[in-house]
Structure 1
Amino acid sequence: MQKDAYTLILEAIDTGVYRPGDRLVESELADRFGVSRTPIREALQRLETQSLLARDGRSLIVASLDHNQLSELYVVRAELEGLAARLAARHATAEEVRVLKDMVEDDKQLLNDPTALSRANRRFHKQIHLASHNRYLVQQLDLVHRSMALMATTSLAAEGRGEVALAEHGAIVSAIEKHDEESAYLALKEHISKAFVTRLKLDAAAT
């Protein structure tokens, strides 16, 4: 299936091809993706409406999150992710649990590569979203994770965070496997909270 201009630009932001503060130029995007300027223009308008792009004079740039937006995003993310873990503990099949366990094991090979670990982390969380078997929750979490792409760095880049995060992933999967809804909810919520604390420390160190 051919991807539309909106999806192509979104993926480019999500994978870090375009970072917060980068200018997006219609003609350059059209050349890069091999599509005409009209769908590019429509995609940019849609992304601006979703606050993923911002105006800088006459230019459109990839938006960045201020401290308050970051805090608001993490509050929503913690609750929705926790709910996904709770529902996964209720609905996940044995096969879905096996995939989650394999992911935790495989991701240990990526501890020295924060970028690859960040991509693997997204896949892990997406797998939990799908295991919740609630399409509306999956849609909302997709929106949240799009906004997460507006962060300049991953919290997994912090010294030692990768190993701790994987241990937390293991605890989340264990609770899901035991169908312990409350423990799964709390474990994932705490995991997001710790990631937020790490991010705040990274941002403080960068200023």
Structure 2
Amino acid sequence: MKSAGERVTEAKDDSGAHSGSLVQLAYSTVLAKILDGSLAGNQLISEGKLASDLGLSRTPMREAIGRLEGEGLVVRNGRSLAVQTLTLSDYLEIHHMRRLLETEAVALAVEHLAPEALQDLRQAVLGMEETVSPVDHWTLDDRIHNMIAEASGSRLLARTIADLRRRTRLFDRSRIPSRFHPGRQEHLRMIDTLLAKDKAGAVEAMRIHLDGAKNAILNEFNKFG
């Protein structure tokens, strides 16, 4: 894997898309830090430091931060910038939308998902160890949910689901209980219903999976406030 410095050098050498490449590099790097928790909710952001860490000028970093701000992942308060955070109420609202959209997506996707791709997903789920990193867990989770959304045939639906899923990851990770075993079983049930082309079963499996995540978080809040 190339280091950030090597990617910067390549971007600078690309005379055809110099500015755009640097902005994209800055955007992708900061987005990854937000999604993996390196930049946590409410954490202040320094454009200068982030640019310096990547060996960039502040201009592409400023454009990248502006893009993240427009996507609701970064918020501005006067001259200060911080990573957006989600309250429990925000999370539940997003969950409600995901439940509506992802159950529709899986119903539309049933006839369009290749059995080979589903079998590959099944093996990936079975092969995941309990000690897997949060990043690897999210990567596989994204792979499953995004494949289903994209197979729905609606690009708008797929983009909206991807955005909502990304926003979910702004929720305080310390308040999210481990769901390795139930989550794995829920994913396997979903994949099996899709392999069987069981539309009603797939919709129910998606609903159970999403509600399982929500209920685990609600239980955590009820226990500890």
Using the size of structure 2 for normalisation, the TM-score is 0.80
Task: Tell me if 1:94 matches 2:115.
Answer: yes
3-state SS, counterpart of residue 55 of structure 1: strand
Greater RCO (CA < 8 Å, at least 6 residues apart): 1
Task: Tell me if 1:132 matches 2:173.
Answer: no
Structure 1: unaligned runs, 5 residues or longer: none
Q: How many residues align?
A: 203
2:66 maps to amino acid: Q
1:157-186 Cα distance to aligned partner (Å, 9 max, x none): 43xx21111111111011111111121112
3-state SS, counterpart of residue 110 of structure 2: helix
1:130-174 Cα distance to aligned partner (Å, 9 max, x none): 33343222211121122112112177743xx21111111111011
1:53-72 Cα distance to aligned partner (Å, 9 max, x none): 12345311111112221111
Structure 2: how far apart are the matches of 1:167 and 1:43?
A: 38
1:59-99 Cα distance to aligned partner (Å, 9 max, x none): 11111112221111001111222122222212111222222
Question: Structure 1 residues 84, 156: closer, same or farther in 2, change over 3 A?
Answer: farther
Structure 2: how far apart are the matches of 1:187 and 1:199?
A: 19
Structure 1: how far apart are the matches of 2:51 and 2:58?
A: 6
Question: Structure 1 residues 133, 34: closer, same or farther in 2, change over 3 A?
Answer: farther
1:120 aligned to 137, 140, 148, which one?
Answer: 140
1:7-59 Cα distance to aligned partner (Å, 9 max, x none): 22212211222111111111111122332211211222222232211234531
Structure 2: how far apart are the matches of 1:26 and 1:195?
A: 34
Q: State the identity %.
A: 28
Range that drifts further, 111-120 or 97-106: 111-120
Structure 1: how far apart are the matches of 2:174 and 2:181?
A: 14
1:69 aligned to 87, 90, 107, which one?
Answer: 90
After superposition, residues 79-90 of structure 1 pair within 5 angstroms as: 79-90=100-111
1:145 maps to amino acid: R
Q: In the alignment, what sits opposite 1:173?
A: 191
Structure 1: how far apart are the matches of 2:176 and 2:133?
A: 6
Structure 1: how far apart are the matches of 2:185 and 2:71?
A: 34
1:111-145 Cα distance to aligned partner (Å, 9 max, x none): 23462434432332223233334322221112112
**Does the 8 Å contact 2:177/2:216 carry over to 1?**
no
1:188 aligned to 190, 201, 206, which one?
Answer: 206
